[in-house]
Amino acid sequence: MNQILSLKNVTKYYGSKTVVTKALDGLSFDVTEGEFTAIMGASGSGKSTLLNVISTIDRASSGEITIRGQELARMKENKLSDFRRDQLGFVFQDYNLLDTLTIEENIVLPLNLRRESLEKTQQALQRVSAALGVEKLLNRFPYEISGGQRQRAACARAIITNPALVLADEPTGALDSKNSRLLMETFQMMNQTLHSTILLVTHDPVVGSYAGRILFLKDGKIWSELYRGDRSRAEFHREILSVTSALGGECDVY
């Protein structure tokens, strides 16, 4: 499989000369095409910082991050902006849909920003809206639909450009248990049927159990790693709970 993401000895410092915090401490790992990887760890373990440097929202202090062979540190800001739009898909906890736009307009926004033709835009819209079950919502506004429906629309927006990597930051954080399950089934379908490569940050072992691989962070380092393999999700969930317990019970366990 093709390598999508590669981190080599990535370090990130915050603070001034007198008070410096090392948020990431020499992280190295790869994500290959078609993988569904979750990042777990306690608050302050480096999860959000890791997502920020991969998403180009922030810059690593040292080390190398490449996505589809392109090293982020070598890219100028104008190129980074285009790269972020075309190669990365984002799903946030708070949806980040624009209330003044319809669901259709929100979903196709990345294609409109890069001035795709109407024909290509409509073809892509039909493909992702059907796959994620939001066809009947296209003419409605975000405030007219449920939180779970808004997140599925956000997922459609994230994958409409066929990005190299989908980044999800606590996507179930604002949802109840039923809608969380439906959303994670959507992510699983995106990965298995649409072949999206996904990197998801979560504190929830139930959410993590939908992934095929989990990296556990502690103090900015990879503390442990799990692969689901052929195990059922229930079996994988039990192993996640075991690791979080050994980690110190710092992830939410329920």
pLDDT in tens, 99-117: 999 999 999 999 999 899 9
β-strands 3-15, 62-67 pairing: antiparallel
- Start-to-end CA distance of the chain, whole Å, equals 35
Q: How far apart are CA 169 and CA 151, in angstroms?
A: 12
Residue 179: count of CB within 10 angstroms of its CB: 18
DSSP per residue over the chain, as a string? --EEEEEEEEEEEEE-SSSEEEEEEEEEEEEETT-EEEEEE-TTSSHHHHHHHHTTSS--SEEEEEETTEEGGGS-HHHHHHHHHHHEEEE-TT----TTS-HHHHHHHHHHHTT--HHHHHHHHHHHHHHTT-GGGTTS-GGGS-HHHHHHHHHHHHHTT--SEEEEESTTTTS-HHHHHHHHHHHHHHHHTS---EEEE-S-HHHHTTSSEEEEEETTEEEEEEE-TTS-HHHHHHHHHHHHHHHTS-S---
For residue 253, the model assigns a pLDDT of 42
Evaluate if residue 254 carries a pLDDT over 60: no
Q: Is the pLDDT of residue 28 over 90?
A: yes
Q: Taking the domains of the chain in order of start, what are their residue ranges?
A: 3-247
Torsions phi, psi for 21 (to 5 deg): -115, 130
pTM: 0.92
CB 104 within 8 A of CB 139: yes
pLDDT digits (tens, 9 = 90+) for 215-241: 999 999 999 999 999 999 999 999 999
| CB burial of residue 55 (10 Å; 0-12, 13-18, 19+) | middle
Class of domain 3-247: alpha beta
pLDDT of residue 252 exceeding 70, the answer is no
pLDDT at 251 (0 to 100): 53
